[in-house]
Amino acid sequence: MIRATSQAAPGLRDYRPAEARLVADLLRGLAERPKRLSPMYLYDSRGSRLFERICEQPEYYLTRTETEIMRRCAGDLARSIGPRALLVEFGSGASLKTRLLLDRLPDLAAYVPVDISRSHLLEAARSICEAYPRLEVLPVCADFTRPFGLPRPSRPPARTVVFFPGSTLGNFDEAPAIELLELMRLIARPDGALVIGIDLVKDPAVLQRAYDDAAGVTAEFNLNVLLRLNREFGADFDPRGFRHAAVWVPEASRIEMHLESVRRQSVRLAGEAIEFAAGEPLVTEHCHKYTPAAFAALAARARWKASRSWCDDLGRFSVRYLEA
């Protein structure tokens, strides 16, 4: 368990993937057509900080809207979750929206933030410890798309509730999204629940502005992945050779974040040469947008039962409470 005075974080469970697996994953994605990277590579320490800046941009409605909904429905959610629950947050990031729930759940058994960025995870966990000194915080560093072990809290929990805000499910295509929902259901167990944020279909122009802000923060966030590949995996990407683009794909109901090659070039990673044509995209993130009916059907395929939902006045975003 991390406490506010902890520096070494002895309670951290670290399930970070082995480097060999990550390299194989990168090379596999760069061999696809179109070339693509998992969005998890966007979130090193700098990428996580840049994403927090994205959330502050006027075009990026998602965080403001979900936070507004959470402020309105936190009491209802807390009553649905009930006492002495184990709250497991997937992709916890800075855990800012989590505090809206924690303020209403003083009797939590424990809070388990799960994130792939170790440094960002520890920073956020310490911050939660300082704000909630009586709460047991048990951080887990893991790729949450794969099974991982839950830490055991000091107090036996009455039930497990998974918290997945931020519309991150939209980063996954249909089959992987169902697999992730099924993994969450296994973690929650038969008497558990899922609180999830879902971004809804809207004007494509609004979506494109949200993923290509005027200040260029999203572009900087997207290009940062190349710096990470250079630093951590010995690649030799030239960030000046790529430009950020946000593309609406109507038939898939999603925004795609691309890094477009501005010229013909060759890049090396782990001894392999990767050729880019001028204008060729490297897909770094899918951001699916759902209708309420489409999300309900997706959740049902993973055997989640819709219980309650909340939406903003403009119908831009939805927070859902599902039962296993």
Q: Where residue 4 falls among pLDDT bands split at 50, 70, 90?
A: very low
Residues 6+ apart with CB under 8 A from 76: 308, 310
30-39, 90-99, 205-214 — which is least confidently predicted? 90-99
Report the mean per-residue pLDDT for the chain.
Answer: 94
Same domain assignment for residues 219 and 246: yes
Q: Dihedral of the CA atoms 277, 278, 280, 283 (nearest 10)?
A: 110
| Together in a domain, 197 and 85 | yes
Q: Which pLDDT band, with edges at 50, 70 and 90, does 9 fall under?
A: very low
CATH number of the domain encompassing residue 195: 3.40.50.150
Are residues 186 and 319 both part of a single domain? Answer: yes
In a domain, 13, yes or no: no
E strand or H helix that includes residue 98: helix 98-102
pTM of the model: 0.92
Structural domain count, the chain: 2
Which domain range does residue 309 map to? 61-201+290-323
Say whether pLDDT at 54 is over 70.
yes
Q: Which amino acid does the sequence have at 203?
A: D
pLDDT digits (tens, 9 = 90+) for 123-133: 889 999 999 99
DSSP calls for 9-28: -TT-EEEPPPHHHHHHHHHH
pLDDT digits (tens, 9 = 90+) for 131-142: 999 999 999 999
Most confident range, picked from 6-10, 40-44, 86-90, 92-96: 86-90
In a domain, 5, yes or no: no
